[in-house]
Structure 1
Amino acid sequence: MLKFYFNGSPNPTKVALFLEEAGIAYEPVAVDTRTGAQFAPDYLALNPNGKVPAIDDGGVKVFDSNAILLYLAEKTGKFLPENTPANRAELLSWLMFVATGIGPFFGQAVHFKHFAPEKIDYAHNRYQYEAERHLSVLNDRLSNRKYMVGDTYTIVDMDVWGWVRMTNFILGDEGFAKFPHVKRLHDEISARPAAAKAIALKDGFKWKTEMDDEARGNMFKHLGTRAA
């Protein structure tokens, strides 16, 4: 059975969404980053980057949420657009847009707004701006289409959903107000039964809840050590 190494953050949650949507049997394995579980030797052998998520599919090991989505979609033939060169190009382009843009910039926006030990206006303002800019790109894309690629619900929509769920956490209670087309896609996917299961997956496990010195040291290694 496929083993799914996860926590409740955006990247694992979008993989959980695919697994639930596709009806793939899997064993969830909790990786609590506040306790440092991501640095255990067994986990690093699976994911050398020490991030979450990862999967072990009968000995086939895949890490990075975007790679996992593409791997699972191609293996199962599910949640891919019609197989045309144009759709394939758009699929890869938008997956990489999330991988290299939305994920990193949203993550940093969250960090500097909610978790940075010192408030740095420049960093906060930069990542708030970039979060809004990326949302604007998505909003424009969705302004004249129902889904991100082609005419059907695909892994790109799942990929986007994983992060845009954080919009209000990043931009404030009215964060979605400027981006009605993004909100429409978010709301549609969030109403799917598989999305509810994906979000609730973490509730069956015990997690460290305190953001104490141990948690900060495990999640933000730069606070204590520097890479040589």
Structure 2
Amino acid sequence: MYKLYGLPGSCSTGIHILLKALEQDFEVIPKNTVDNYNTINPVGAVPALDDGGMIICEGAAIVLYLLEKHKSEMMPTDVVEKSSFIQKLMFNYATMHPAYNRLFFAMNNLKGKTQQEAYEAAAQPINSLWKNVDDQLKSRPFVSGEKVTIIDYLLCIYANWGTFFNVDIKRGPNVDRMIKQVIQAPYFSSAFEEEGVEFALFKS
């Protein structure tokens, strides 16, 4: 059985959802319940995956490991399509996620007018990134084509993060359409419920 170390509602939730979609047995262990978590991941970040004593860190590495190991249809076999999939996956982890980190930094380290100014500044590049995703979704239901993948799960999680901040984040109509489709999957909603986190987007 896998052990997934994470934080509720974080990018580790994407791995939680993926493990459910792959119909694997696993246990989710909140990072803050682990003594000396740095012995599991020396940099202290989540997610980390324990597969029979072998620890894999970094979200993208975990995703690729799971998709290859379980021969998931999410991972294309054609070399060109596979390269495109990995590029989109890395966009999530290396571009979109760090852009939202600027908002979290402002929330945790700034106050008042300075905080709001930082929110506004951070939202501008995020909006540009969502415009890129929205344009991709004009011609297909999901980022990688006709079927939902981990790429879409992660984008839904990032979009939900936007509800934490008092700033206008513009995702685009195609992104919202995709999100509304993805969150209907039972394994998506159940992962959030098990972590005790609300998917607040689209709720009045």
* TM-score, length-scaled by structure 2: 0.85
Which amino acid in the other structure matches residue 91 of structure 1? F
2:123 is aligned with 1:128: yes
**Secondary structure of 1:144's match?**
coil
Q: How far is 1:138 from its partner?
A: 0.8
SS class of match (1:146): coil
Query: Of 36, 42, 51, which aligns to 1:57?
Result: 51
Distance in structure 2 (CA, Å) of the matches to 1:133 and 1:25: 38
Runs (5+) with no aligned partner, structure 2: 198-204
Greater RCO (CA < 8 Å, at least 6 residues apart): 1
Structure 1: how far apart are the matches of 2:104 and 2:125? 12
For the aligned residue pairs, the C-alpha RMSD in angstroms reads 2.2
Q: Which residue of structure 2 lines up, in the alignment, with residue 141 of structure 1?
A: 136
Aligned equivalent of 2:19: 19
Shift of 1:198: 1.0
* Aligned residues of 1:87 and 1:149 also touching (Cα < 8 A): no
Map 1:79-98; keep pairs closer than 5 Å. 79-98=73-92
Assess if the C-alpha contact under 8 Å between 2:5 and 2:49 holds in 1.
Answer: yes
- Specify every segment of 5 or more residues in structure 1 that has no aligned partner in the other structure, as ranges: 205-228
User: 2:3 is paired with a residue of what secondary structure?
Assistant: strand
Q: Percent of pairs identical after alignment?
A: 22
Cα deviation digits, residues 3-45 of structure 1 (max 9, x gap): 111221331111111011111101221212xxxx67x43x212
Instruction: Show CA shifts across 1:50-108 (max 9, x none).
Output: 01211101122111222211211111112424311221111111111111111011122
Report the Cα offset of residue 161 of structure 1: 2.3
Q: Is the 8 A contact 1:6 1:30 kept in 2?
A: yes
Give the count of matched residue pairs: 195
Q: Are 2:61 and 1:67 equivalent residues in the alignment? A: yes
Structure 1 counterpart SS, 2:44: coil
Counterpart for residue 154 of structure 2: 159
Aligned to 2:185: 192
Answer whether contact 2:8 2:30 (CA < 8 A) is retained.
Answer: no
Matched AA of 2:154: D
Q: Which moved more, 1:62-71 or 1:117-126?
A: 117-126
Q: Give TM-score scaled by structure 1 length.
A: 0.77
Once residues 45 and 9 of structure 2 are traced to their aligned partners in structure 1, the CA distance between those partners, rounded to angstroms, is: 11
Q: Distance between the aligned counterparts of 2:47 and 2:195, measured in 1? A: 13
Mapped partners of 2:126, 2:166: distance in 1? 8
SS at match of 1:166: helix
After superposition, give the CA deviation of every residue in 1:145-167 in whole Å (9 maximum; x if it has no partner): 11111432222222322212223
The runs of at least 4 consecutive aligned structure 1 residues that moved more than 3 Å come to 120-123, 167-172
3-state DSSP of counterpart to 1:165: helix
Whole-Å separation in 2 of the counterparts to 1:5 and 1:135 = 28
Offset of residue 133 of structure 1: 1.1
- Distance in 2 (CA, whole Å) between partners of 1:79 and 1:102 is 24
Q: Matched residues in 2 for 1:8 and 1:96: separation?
A: 22
